[in-house]
């Protein structure tokens, strides 16, 4: 049976009528219209669907929407502000940290999460922080360059 579930997404309160086992990923994309969050594997392996839930990085394909009730969510659409791109997005742009773009929103969200917890990560810590995000184009080098650029420690 459908029910109302409310949460705050990128600063705005939304209430949606959903089945409680709908995946947060699908609700974001089809009910809210935030299609920046991508589906890759649908089983928590690839990180394309990464969003922040109460500040913590989660795979939105593995979150039943009822478990997001009352939470504060941040998606890729919530990063850029009035003054332009988020510094992490700017760094990915500058360093060429994106090719086809499917993994990019997840990579950027994982980077934002990492830098929120650890503003000056080592390369090893960057590899761990982004270890759940798969990219089939770049070979990761330019993505790691972008994270270091965003952290203010360009190589």
- Interacting residue ranges for other proteins, rule: CB under 8 A: 1, 18-23, 26, 42-45, 47, 50, 56-59, 61-64, 66-67, 69, 110, 113-114, 128-129, 131-133
Minimal distance, residue 141 CB to other proteins, in Å: 17
Minimal distance, residue 143 CB to other proteins, in Å: 14
Two tokens, residue 132: 């759940």
Minimal distance, residue 23 CB to other proteins, in Å: 7
Q: What are the DSSP E strand ranges found in the chain?
A: 3-9, 12-18, 50-53, 56-59, 72-74
Q: What are the DSSP E strand ranges found in 19-128?
A: 50-53, 56-59, 72-74
Q: Based on CB atoms, which residue is closest to other proteins, 104 or 154?
A: 104
Q: Based on CB atoms, which residue is closest to other proteins, 94 or 118?
A: 118
> SS3 for 108?
helix
Q: Based on CB atoms, which residue is closest to other proteins, 20 or 101?
A: 20
Phi, psi (rounded to 5 degrees) for 104: -60, -45
């Amino acid at each position: 049976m459908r029910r109302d579930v409310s949460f705050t997404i990128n600063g705005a309160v939304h209430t949606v009528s959903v089945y409680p086992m709908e995946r947060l990923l699908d609700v974001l994309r089809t009910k809210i219209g935030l299609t920046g969050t991508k589906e890759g594997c649908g089983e928590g392996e690839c990180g394309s669907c990464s969003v922040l839930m109460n500040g913590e990085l989660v795979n939105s394909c593995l979150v039943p929407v009822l478990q997001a009730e009352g939470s504060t969510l941040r998606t890729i659409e919530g990063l850029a502000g009035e003054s332009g791109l988020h510094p992490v997005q700017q760094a990915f742009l500058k360093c060429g940290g994106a090719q086809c773009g499917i993994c990019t929103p997840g990579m950027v969200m994982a980077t934002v999460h990492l830098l929120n917890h650890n503003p000056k990560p080592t390369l090893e810590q960057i590899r761990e922080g982004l270890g759940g995000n798969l990219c089939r184009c770049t070979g990761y080098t330019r993505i790691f360059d972008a994270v270091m650029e965003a952290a203010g420690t360009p190589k």
